Structure 1
């Protein structure tokens, strides 16, 4: 069974490695949408993979760390592409969520990255 929970945060960033004149070289912001997927067997008697509150308790502190921040100033996110951000999030929550199967991070309604671990 696979379950998921969605989170949102607002952050600013700029992409320092893109060519001069690229619009993403300038500081700008996004409302990011993160979907966290867990995969596992149903817990006997409870009939769920994991309590959604327990999932939120793991992810929410990290979301709070990113919300209303300049991502470039966070260690490890000096070049905060969607791909880099989703790996950064994975590395921090995977040890606490062994059933984590994938993350989807959207920086716009039509653009994002999906990461399934290394």
Structure 2
């Protein structure tokens, strides 16, 4: 069984090295959507894998407090703040805290995103 929870955060970034005139070269912002998926055994007493409230606290403490309403170009250890690197940065912070983490998806707006499962 796999559960998931969605999160949103707002942040700004600029992608260096792009040609002049590319809209992503300039500082701009997005409302990002993060979806965290995990598996695990059901607690026999309660009947859930993990309390969604506990998952929310963990994701905010490990990741989103460092990203929400921030300039992603200034986030330590992220590198160029592409959607792919944002996804890897989040994964690397969540996986040690959530052994059952199976994948995450980061959406940069409504139409674009990146999914990572550790491979």
Class of the TM-score when normalised by the shorter of the 2 chains: over 0.9
8 Å CA contact 1:17, 1:79 repeated in 2: no
8 Å CA contact 2:79, 2:85 repeated in 1: no
Question: Pairwise mapping of residues 89-100 of structure 1 onto structure 2 (< 5 A)?
Answer: 89-100=90-101
**Root-mean-square deviation (CA), in Å?**
1.0
Distance 1:63 1:113 in 2: 17
Distance 2:51 2:17 in 1: 41
Shift of 1:4: 0.6
Divergent runs of 4+, >6 A: none
Distance 1:99 1:107 in 2: 25
Query: What is aligned with 1:74?
Result: 75
What 5-or-longer segments of structure 1 have no aligned partner? none
8 Å CA contact 1:10, 1:32 repeated in 2: yes
Query: What is aligned with 1:58?
Result: 58
Aligned positions, number: 118
* TM-score, normalisation: structure 2: 0.94
Distance 2:17 2:81 in 1: 10
Deviates more, 1:27-36 or 1:55-64: 55-64
Query: Cα deviations across residues 71-109 of structure 1 (Å, max 9, x unaligned)?
Result: 001112231000000100000111011111100100110
Distance 2:17 2:97 in 1: 32
Query: What is aligned with 1:37?
Result: 37
What 5-or-longer segments of structure 2 have no aligned partner? none
